[in-house]
Amino acid sequence: MIDLRSDTVTKPDEEMREVARDAAVGDDVYGEDPTVNELEARAADLVGKEAALYVPTGTMGNQVAARVHTEHGQEVLADRQSHVVKYELGGLAQHSGLQVRMLDADPNGVPTPEQVADGYVAEDVHRPGTGLLCLENTHNARGGRAIPSGEIAAAAEAAHDHGVPVHLDGARVFNAAVALDVPVTDITEPVDSVMFCLSKGLGAPVGSMLAGSEEFVERARRTRKLFGGGMRQVGVIAGPGLRALENVDDLATDHENARVLADGLDSVAGLSVAEPETNIVLADVAETGLDAAAVIDRLRDHEVLATQFGPTTVRFCTHRDVDREDVETAVDRVATALE
């Protein structure tokens, strides 16, 4: 089976397993796990922030950030297609009592400064006001778009002009940096906090990082505990996370494999595929006469796994556990499945 559903399906390599076995551990709620402490320091340094916090999942990282940055009842500005809007179970409302003012941030998924200014609501006796701007890079639902750092900076500046903090859902921010050939700090410097995943393209089995100022992370640590994310002898999974930080350069291989996959799929009758910017490939299957669910069922029968991303859109995601031969084989199997 060739699994192209997501880069979350990657399994820890042997070196990660060895690191997990040998990791020094302690109680992280007490701040006594040396492996976690090292991971947090390293992560903060990589994204140019004062401090970082290890969290079990990217969704928890985003939700913790929103809780820390805002007051109950405030509005959050976010792209209509963003992960925090579409894929986090209404967590902004459920966890933090926040309202979402959705923006149509086409085509990249980052709102323009004008959209930020227009969406901003001042606090007054009737309205709670805007408490946060959420950005995303790469943008998952928009096909893994790598948003240029200048666009992130412009949106963040517009928010800051109104005294609104900015959080970046950077689950795949290193993919963006590699695709744009810029230091990741070019993307993260303008924002107040950033979350990035260790368990996607970087290949760790568990975990994400939430980074920001020391004051922000201190408050985030308490909120993580509130959300049930206080962990104990967690060095056994933080160790592989440290090892995963060494895999950033390997993301370029995933991007190249995605381009090969996209080219191959685009040649299959009935499929229309745009050239990917990172490791996510979106295929429009409408011309096959089938919907996405039916196509995915056929692909599974031919030992290729993919994800439905709309009524007639199928997502394929390359990662470190599929090589060029796997990608080429997947194209052949897709063609056979749709004959």
Sign of CA dihedral 162, 164, 165, 166: negative
pLDDT, residue 319, reads 98
**How many CB atoms are closer than 10 A to CB 278?**
29
> H-helix or E-strand containing 193?
strand 193-197
pLDDT, residue 11, reads 95
DSSP 250-295: GHHHHHHHHHHHHHHHHTSTT-EEPPPSSSEEEEE-GGGTS-HHHH
Instruction: Using 50 as the pLDDT threshold, list the residues of the chain that sit under it.
Output: none
> H-helix or E-strand containing 242?
helix 235-244
pLDDT tens digit string along 128-165? 999 999 999 999 999 999 999 999 999 999 999 999 99
pLDDT, residue 106, reads 79
pLDDT, residue 47, reads 98
pLDDT, residue 108, reads 85
